[in-house]
Amino acid sequence: MKPRTPVFEPRPAIIGHRGLGGGTRLGLLENTLDSFVAAAEHGLVWVELDVRRSSDDGLVVHHNPTTDDSAFVIEQTTKDLAADGMSLLDKVLDALPAEVAVNIDVKTELEDAVTPPRRRTGALLVPVLRRELRRRRLFVSSFDPALLLYLRDEVPAVPLGLLTWVDFPLRQAVPAAAHLGMQVVGLHVGSFGPNRVEPGPVHRPAEYAVGIAHEAGLEVAAWCPSAETCTNLVQAGVDAMIVNDVPGVLAALGHVAGDE
């Protein structure tokens, strides 16, 4: 097998989750251009954003399937969503400096199960990825393995990562990502040891699990570690951390703004 170009360099990469973090951080709302720019100003090379589709096949940057008034994003037009303050993917990417690398987390919709292939979220994203690859580093992640396999065929130059859910067992996540041919496995911080689902002695040491992932050719990204847990993940050898508390994690790792 031809050696892959590393996705994350230098390591460990600190990725700003939805910008500076989920919710509102330092007065900045998640998944907005201001939040992404602020994360970069803290010294981050990478930011993560969420992508969904609208009723008229636009792509917007939003995490939840609904807006604050509980209306489903997919039932609203791009124009209406933008008027309500939601960021459009194209506008965010056009405004971000090219040196900012972007982790695009693709949120499939329930309706994608019955939508014609050309209108599914992944298909709408393909031309954006092809265009954006010419100006910045990209990494696409999703909980949907079928979407990732589709993107691998359509845009093979884009690194892909399988995300697994909260506290999901590493013993299943790592082989699944490896056998799907992914470059990255994205693991919730709770997956690295005893958790609410599996509090008992069924977990391999984090260093061992990360080592197996590396042996399988995977890079490991941990999502939502706290400043208190991030140092243990670094010691375990993870390649990236997708964090909500950007200043806290940087301080815990001995970074200052501009050092990442």
**Residuewise pLDDT in 10s, the chain (260 residues):** 456 899 998 899 999 999 999 999 999 999 999 999 999 999 999 999 999 999 999 999 999 999 999 999 999 999 999 999 999 999 999 999 999 999 999 999 999 999 999 999 999 999 999 999 999 999 999 999 999 999 999 999 999 999 999 999 999 999 999 999 999 999 999 999 999 999 999 999 999 999 999 999 999 999 999 999 999 999 999 999 999 999 999 999 987 444 55
Q: Please provide the DSSP assignment of 97-121 as one string.
A: -TTSEEEEEE---GGGGTS-GGGSH
Scanning the chain, the segments in alpha helix (DSSP H) are 33-41, 78-83, 89-95, 121-132, 145-154, 170-179, 206-215, 230-236, 246-252
Whole-number pLDDT of residue 257: 41
Contact 196, 190 (CB under 8 A): yes
In the beta sheet, which residues pair with residue 47?
16, 102
Contact 169, 193 (CB under 8 A): no
Domain with 195 in it: what CATH number?
3.20.20.190
Domain end (from 141, 169, 202): 141
Domain end (from 85, 111, 141): 141
Whole-number pLDDT of residue 188: 98
Whole-number pLDDT of residue 4: 81
Are both 19 and 117 inside the same structural domain? yes
Domain total in the chain: 2
Are both 166 and 134 inside the same structural domain? no
* Exposure b/e, 2-12, CB count within 10 A at least 16 = b: eeeeebbeeeb
* Residue 103 located in a structural domain: yes
Range of the domain at 246: 159-253
pTM for this predicted structure: 0.96
Pairing type for strands 59-61 and 46-53 reads: antiparallel
* Residue 146 located in a structural domain: no
Distance of CA 215 to the CA centre of its chain: 22
Domain end (from 82, 110, 141): 141
